[in-house]
Amino acid sequence: MSQYAIKAEGLGKLYKLGAKRSSTGSLGHRILDRAAGMLRKQPVNEFWALRDATFEIGHGENVGFVGLNGAGKSTAFKILSRITAPTTGRARIDGRLGALLEVGTGFNGELSGRENVFLYGSILGMRRSEVLRKFDAILDFSGIEKFIDTPVKRYSSGMYVRLAFAVAAYLEPDILLLDEVLAVGDMAFQRKCLEHAKELQKRDATILFVSHNMFSIKTMCERVIYLKKGQIIFDGPTERGIELYEEDCRLSTLPGVAQKLEDLPIHMTGCNVSGMDDVPRKMFDFGERMKMQLTFQTNRPLGSLNVIVAFIRSDGVAVCNYASESDEMSLTGLNGTAVLELTTPPLKLTSELYSISVFVRDAKTHDMLCGQMGGTFHVRHPLFDTHYGVFHESAQWKLRAPGASRESPALAYERPELQSLPGGRSIARAAGGERDL
C-alpha cells in the first residue's frame, strides 16, 4: 500500500470561455476574428478553474475542501474522480474510490430507483452480486422503500441524494468524495450520512468533503484545504481554515441574491461587532448585549426600507432576527452612505458559533434589495450549550407536597412602566431603555 491515498502534483484545469466560430464562417467573420486576435495582448477566453494544486492525503484522513463559489473545489473533485482530465499535473489514487458529486449523477431518469441502484453501483465499480447482497441495506439507509419501483425522473432532489448516497456509502470505498450533495437532504438525513461517514473513517476510509456548512466541516474534518480563485492558499488545521473562509465570506452576497454587489441598489460595506464599550470583539458571554454598526452604500435614492439582521447557528438553524420595521424604526430616503447601529437585548443564546446575515427589503413591495454575510461571533457559557436548545431563560418553580412547600427565588424581571403619549401610543420605560409600543 502506498503511503498516501491521494497524491496530487500541480493539478490544473483550463477552460475556454465562449463559443468558437465555426471554420465554415464567412470570409468577413474570419477577417474580424483574426483582427480581434491581433488586438488582444492576452487571451480573454481562457479561465483556470484550478491551478497548480499540490497536496497529499494519507489513508484514513478526513479532509474538508472549502472556499467561495468558483474557488475550484468541484473541479478538483471531478479530476480526482476521473470525470474530467487535468490540463496540467497528475493525481495518484491508491484504493477503491467512490464519488457523490452532483445530484443524480449516473442515474437514468427513465429507470426505476431499483434499476438505478444496479446501474449506479456498476458505475462505481460494484459487481451485480455485490449490489444484490447489499440491496436491502442500501434501501433501508435511503429511506425511500415506498418509491423504489418509481422512475427516478419523478424523484425530488432529496430522494435522488438519499438513494445515491446509500449506494455510494455501501460501496465500502477506500476513498469517498462528497461534494455538497448533502445540502439538499433534510437535517435528519444529513446527520445520518455524517454518522455513516464516521463509521467509514473507523474502517480507515479516506473522506474528502466539500461543504459550505462549517458545522459539518468542523464535525468531520481535522484538516482543511482552502481554495481561492482556483489556487490552494491554506492547507492545515480545520479551525484556522474555517477562520480564513469566514473572513472571505464577510460581506459576500447570500445565495439567491445577485452575485455582483454593483448590481444591487444598496449594499453593505461594513459590519462591525462590539460590546457595549464599543471595543470590537467576536466573543460574548451569555446575557451580554451586542452592538453592531452596519454601513450601507446606495447607488440611487431609495424609499422606505426594512433592514433585517438574522443570527444563524453553525448547523444552519436560524435562531433569531431583528427587523427595523417590526421595531418601528423608519428608514426612508437613504442616498449615498449611511450607518445603522443595532443594539441587541441581552443575548440568551446557548453557547455556540453564530453567523450574521443581513437583508434589506423594500418595505412596501417586500422585494429583496440586498443580502450579505456579516461575519461570525461566539456566545459562551460553562453550562448552557446546544443540549439546552437555542436559548435559555430561567423559570420559577414551586413544589407542593405533603410536609413540604418550597419555591425557587422570584425571577429578576422588571415590568416596564407604561407612559401615555399623545395619539394613544405608549412608551415603555425599563432598565434596558425606551421603546415605542
Spatial CA neighbour of 148 closest among 158, 157, 159, 137: 159
Please write the tens of the pLDDT for every residue from 137-163.
999 988 899 999 999 999 987 888 888
Whether the pLDDT of residue 169 is over 60: the answer is yes
The ranges assigned to domains in the chain are 4-248, 261-388
Whether the pLDDT of residue 423 is over 50: the answer is no
Q: What one-character DSSP code corresponds to residue 392?
A: -
Spatial CA neighbour of 123 closest among 99, 141, 155, 147: 99
pLDDT band at residue 390 using 50, 70 and 90 as cut-offs: very high
Rounded percentage of the chain residues whose pLDDT exceeds 70? 84
Pick the CATH number of 4-248 from 3.40.1280.10, 3.30.565.10, 3.40.1050.10, 3.40.50.300: 3.40.50.300
Spatial CA neighbour of 168 closest among 157, 154, 183, 181: 181
Whether the pLDDT of residue 394 is over 80: the answer is yes
d(CA 348, CA 385): 11
Whether the pLDDT of residue 431 is over 70: the answer is no
First to last CA, the chain: 71
Residue range 309-331: average pLDDT?
92
Element at 118 (helix H, strand E): helix 113-123
**Mean pLDDT score of the chain:** 83
CA dihedral 216, 219, 223, 229 (to 10 degrees): 10
Task: State the greatest distance between any 2 C-alpha atoms of the chain, in Å, as a whole number.
Answer: 106
* Residue 123 near residue 106, CB atoms below 8 Å: yes
Whether the pLDDT of residue 85 is over 90: the answer is yes
Helix spans in 40-96 (H) = 73-80
Q: Which residue has the higher pLDDT, 431 or 40?
A: 40
Spatial CA neighbour of 220 closest among 240, 196, 203, 236: 196
d(CA 191, CA 193): 5
Does the predicted TM-score (pTM) go above 0.75?
Answer: no
Whether the pLDDT of residue 172 is over 60: the answer is yes
Q: How far is CA 65 from the centre of its chain?
A: 12
d(CA 215, CA 221): 10
Annotate 131-178 with DSSP letters as a single string.
HHHHHHHHHHHHT-GGGTTSBGGGS-HHHHHHHHHHHHHHT--SEEEE
* Residue 267 near residue 261, CB atoms below 8 Å: yes
* Residue 155 near residue 143, CB atoms below 8 Å: no
Report the pLDDT value the prediction gives residue 422, as an integer from 0 to 100. 40
d(CA 379, CA 280): 15
* Residue 379 near residue 350, CB atoms below 8 Å: yes
Q: Which amino acid is at 90?
A: R
Report the pLDDT value the prediction gives residue 428, as an integer from 0 to 100. 38
C-alpha cell at 201: 473513517
Please write the tens of the pLDDT for every residue from 109-132.
899 999 999 988 887 778 899 899
Q: Which residue has the higher pLDDT, 428 or 258?
A: 258
Beta-carbon contacts of residue 64 (< 8 Å; ≥ 6 apart): 209, 210, 211, 217, 220, 221, 223, 224, 225, 238, 241
Main-chain phi, psi angles of 84, to 5 degrees: -130, 150
Among 70-74, 110-114, 154-158, 279-283, which stretch is predicted with the lowest mean pLDDT?
154-158
Q: Which residue has the higher pLDDT, 186 or 156?
A: 156
Q: Which fold has domain 261-388?
A: Coagulation Factor XIII; Chain A, domain 1 (2.70.50)
- In terms of residues, how long is the chain? 437
pLDDT band at residue 187 using 50, 70 and 90 as cut-offs: low
Q: How far is CA 347 from the centre of its chain?
A: 24
Beta-carbon contacts of residue 150 (< 8 Å; ≥ 6 apart): 112, 113
Among 162-166, 205-209, 343-347, 406-410, which stretch is predicted with the lowest mean pLDDT?
406-410
Strands 175-179 and 4-16: unpaired
Residue range 238-264: average pLDDT?
81
* Residue 9 near residue 89, CB atoms below 8 Å: yes
Report the pLDDT value the prediction gives residue 30, as an integer from 0 to 100. 59
Report the pLDDT value the prediction gives residue 436, as an integer from 0 to 100. 41
Report the pLDDT value the prediction gives residue 407, as an integer from 0 to 100. 82
Report the pLDDT value the prediction gives residue 29, as an integer from 0 to 100. 58
Among 59-63, 217-221, 361-365, which stretch is predicted with the lowest mean pLDDT?
217-221
Whether the pLDDT of residue 427 is over 60: the answer is no
Among 19-33, 59-73, 79-93, 104-118, which stretch is predicted with the lowest mean pLDDT?
19-33
